[in-house]
Amino acid sequence: MRKAGLIFLIFICIFLSYLTFITAQKAFQSDWKLPAASTQKEDSFRIVLITQELDTPFWDKVGKGAEQQAQKSGASLEVWGSYGKNQDDFLKKLEVAIQSKVDGIIVQGLDTDRFKELTKVKAAFYGIPIITVGNDVPKAESLRKTYVGSNQHLAGMMIAKLMLSDMGQEGQVILLSDSQKEHYQEQRLSGIKEVLQSFPNIKSIYAETPETREQVIAKTRDLLNQYPDADGFIAVNANTAGAMIQEIGRRGQVEPYFIYSFDDGSESMTLLNQKKLDGVIEQSPEMMGRKSVDVLMQWLKNETVPLDADGYSSEIRMIKAMDER
């Protein structure tokens, strides 16, 4: 009896010691770590990539490419931007970047006065190099160091040719651009028009619309009313393609129309997969990102001065809806 009691007591003692030990270990041992102390070298370059459309497949790829390249060349890069082409927010980000005295800014070009003023005056004042990516703004207006991205004029020509090969050399084509008249759209248009000029049987109708969805829909409706015989559509601003197709679809079949756009819209690839778009011009966003960082680093390290003001073109390809299947 006494022995049993003793064993019981020892058992309880061991049990309690074990529990105490376990909890003590948990209480005194912290497995969470504070963030590591600053590892960045003082002289590593800080680069900001600013876009107007965060979280779209196209710009995500640009960001990814840029980050890869930045890591490779030992620069620290952050992707800033606005959502859904919020210009005020975008410009504010740009200004903050300039005022934060980053070492270089890679920015999606925006063809507005405020943008030009910021790049021309502010950035130049602080001596911050600016590279446009994806969309260009002419050097004279923005004092950008260079442009990295597709040759938009060539892209316009390609899309026109693509349409011609599908539609034939006769028909009515509606070119829908947005009212911003951004530089890259102008260039695409000029490319399209250059091709279409040599085909007198093609009648091209040029239309402009503000970028909001409702307005695009309204404009499309107007256009369909005005030109019921239209055979093809080209959404020069890829972001308008979705709303445009939606309206056309409401009217009737989407199939008979030849609809083309570019891949830098948030819905472009989805629409292509649904065969609602007959073809897109695919650019190389990842390459753009990589190249832009690479070029900027070259400039920052004084390896290539000055940079090619005409820009560095990235690849463009045509994709037809059939190819995708």
Partner 1 sequence: MNRIQKKIWMLASVVLIIMAIIWIALTYYNQKTQNQYNDILQRYLSMNEVTSTSQKMVTDLNNYLLEPSENHMDNLDKSKDKLNMAKLEIGKLRNSENEFALMNYMNLIDSLIETTDRSLMFYAESDTETSNKEFTEATRLSKYISEMTLTLIDTELKTYDVFYRGIIDQSGEFKKLGIWLMLLITLLLLVITYWFSLSITRPVQQLTRAANELSAGKFDKEIKVDSNDEISFLAQTFNRMRININNLFQEIQQKAQLEHELQQSKLLLQESQLKNLQSQINPHFLFNTLNTLSKKAYLEGSKETSDLLVSVAGLLRYNLKWLDKSVTLQDEVMVIQQYMNIQKARFTDRLTLHLEIDQSCLEVQIPGLTLQPIIENAVIYAVEPREDGGQIWLRIKDDDNMVRIEVEDDGPGIPENIRLQILDGELVETNSASTGIGFTNVVKRLRLFYGLENVMDIQSDIGVGTTVVIRIPKTRGIEQHAQTLDR
CB of 88 to partner 1, least distance (A): 12
Question: Which residue among 1, 4, 39, 43 contacts partner 1 (CB under 8 A)?
Answer: 39
Q: In what order do the strands lie in the sheet with 171-178?
A: 202-209, 171-178, 232-235, 258-262, 279-282, 317-320
Q: Find the shortest distance in angstroms from Cβ 58 to partner 1.
A: 24
Angle at 232 between CA 227 and CA 235, to 5 degrees: 100
Segment interacting with partner 1, rule: CB under 8 A, options 21-29, 49-57, 257-265, 311-319: 21-29
φ, ψ for residue 249 (rounded to 5)? Answer: -60, -35
Using CB under 8 A as the binding rule, whether residue 317 contacts partner 1 is answered as no
Could you report how far apart the first and last alpha carbons of the chain are, in Å? Answer: 84
Rounded distance between C-alpha atoms, residue 251 and residue 69, angstroms: 46
Q: Which is nearer to partner 1, 103 or 286 (CB)?
A: 103
Residue 102 binding partner 1, by CB under 8 A: yes
Measured from the CB atom, the residue of 1 and 306 that comes closer to partner 1 is 1
> Backbone phi, then psi, for 314, in 5-degree steps?
-105, 170
Which stretch in 17-25, 138-146, 265-273, 291-299 sits in contact with partner 1 by CB under 8 A?
A: 17-25
What are the structure tokens assigned to 292, written together?
């832009």
Q: Does 228 bind partner 1 (CB under 8 A)?
A: no
Binding residues for partner 1, total number by CB under 8 A: 34
30 contributes a contact to partner 1 by CB under 8 A: yes
In angstroms, the CA 228 to CA 173 distance is 11
Q: Is 127 in the site for partner 1 (CB under 8 A)?
A: no
Query: Nearest 5 degrees, angle CA 137-CA 237-CA 190?
Result: 65
Residues that bind partner 1 (CB under 8 A): 9, 12-13, 16-17, 19-20, 23-24, 26-28, 30-40, 46, 76, 78, 92, 95-97, 99-102
